[in-house]
Chain A
Amino acid sequence: MSDALRGVVVAHGALAVALVQEAERISGQAGTLVAVSNEGGSREEIERRIADAVAREPSVVFVDMPCGSCFFAAMHLARQTEGVRVVTGVNLPMLLDFLHNRTLPPDEGAARAAVKGTDAIRKP
């Protein structure tokens, strides 16, 4: 088992792949996040995809919306899997911060990500 948290991004269509690609391109850290799409899957199938990405490791699952198929599938998995926490409203700033704070415990990693993601929403 790795000491670092896994980061799994779950979103509609191609959004998760795009977020992961850009987070890795900006940070220079490749292969540290896993993208999961809800495309063509029932809730059970999406949950299975997330479970494969989590791979029984301590993880933070980043979901695009606080409702919907991705959210329900992630929450279902988190309830049954120790060390998995869910954060909604995924954005690039929270992913970039997460990549530099992957040694936190899952609860703290998820809480920090939620704060960092919220901090990035401003009206300059």
Chain B
Amino acid sequence: MPIVLYRVDDRLVHGQVVIGWGKPLNIGFIVLLDDTVYGSDWERDLYRMGTPPEIELRFADLAEAVRQHATWRVEPANGIVLTADVATMAAFCQAAPPVERLNLGGIHHKPGRTPRLPYVYLADEELRTLEALQQAGTVVTAQDLPTTRAVPLEALR
């Protein structure tokens, strides 16, 4: 399974993703699934500038990600699919199964969200969305780094 991590992280491409997960998982590419970034030449250039040259950064909106998912899963290089929010990842999981495991890596405070872990804040609606995903077969855990404990979704209620 060359997509070795499906992650929700509102900081998108940053040190924990590129180094913390990227090094031990020997990542060859990251798919940044974000409609805003996908639609902006400037944002895409910015994210390319901030990504190490050994990692290929790809951009997708939801439609493109759904089209490409099967292809990414059979590539020889290991990859990460990254979204900034639960809603985008949930839409992707529903439209392009299978996604066996989903990692909540960094969802920070916003009005309406309550703290579940120091690095995970969720609104009740986001929690319900994740519970529905898990019921549909995707195992959801929170884990900021591979060296820390994976926290099951049930513990975030």
Contact A69 B110, beta carbon cutoff 8 Å: no
Contact A67 B11, beta carbon cutoff 8 Å: no
Contact A72 B50, beta carbon cutoff 8 Å: yes
Contact A68 B110, beta carbon cutoff 8 Å: no
Question: What separation, in Å, do the CA atoms of A75 and B110 have in the docked complex?
Answer: 22
Which of A23-31, A39-47, A49-57, A94-102 contacts the other chain?
A39-47
What residue in chain B is nearest A64 (Cβ atoms)?
B15
Q: Dominant SS at the B interface?
A: loop
Among B10, B11, B18, B118, residue most surrounded by chain A Cβ atoms (within 10 Å): B11
- Interface bracket on B: 20 to 34
Contact B42 A72, beta carbon cutoff 8 Å: no
A 52-102 contacts with B by CB, 8 A: 65-69, 71-72, 75-76, 79
Q: Dominant SS at the A interface?
A: helix
Shortest beta-carbon distance from B145 to chain A in Å: 13
Chain B CB within 8 A of A112 CB: no
**Which residues of B lie under 8 Å from residue A116 when comparing CB positions?**
none
Interface size on A, residues (CB 8 A): 17
Question: What separation, in Å, do the CA atoms of A45 and B110 have in the docked complex?
Answer: 9
**Which residues of B lie under 8 Å from residue A43 when comparing CB positions?**
10-12
Question: What separation, in Å, do the CA atoms of A40 and B12 have in the docked complex?
Answer: 14
**Which residues of A lie under 8 Å from residue B73 when comparing CB positions?**
none
Contact A41 B14, beta carbon cutoff 8 Å: no
Question: What separation, in Å, do the CA atoms of A68 and B46 have in the docked complex?
Answer: 11
Contact B15 A12, beta carbon cutoff 8 Å: yes
Contact B11 A42, beta carbon cutoff 8 Å: yes
Question: What separation, in Å, do the CA atoms of A118 and B144 have in the docked complex?
Answer: 32
Contact A41 B47, beta carbon cutoff 8 Å: no
Q: A40-B118, A42-B10 are in contact. Are A68 and B108 (CB under 8 A)?
A: no
* 5 cross-chain CB contacts under 8 A: A44-B10, A45-B108, A67-B49, A68-B13, A72-B50
Which residues of chain B have a CB within 8 Å of any CB of chain A?
10-15, 18, 42, 46-47, 49-52, 106, 108-110, 118-119
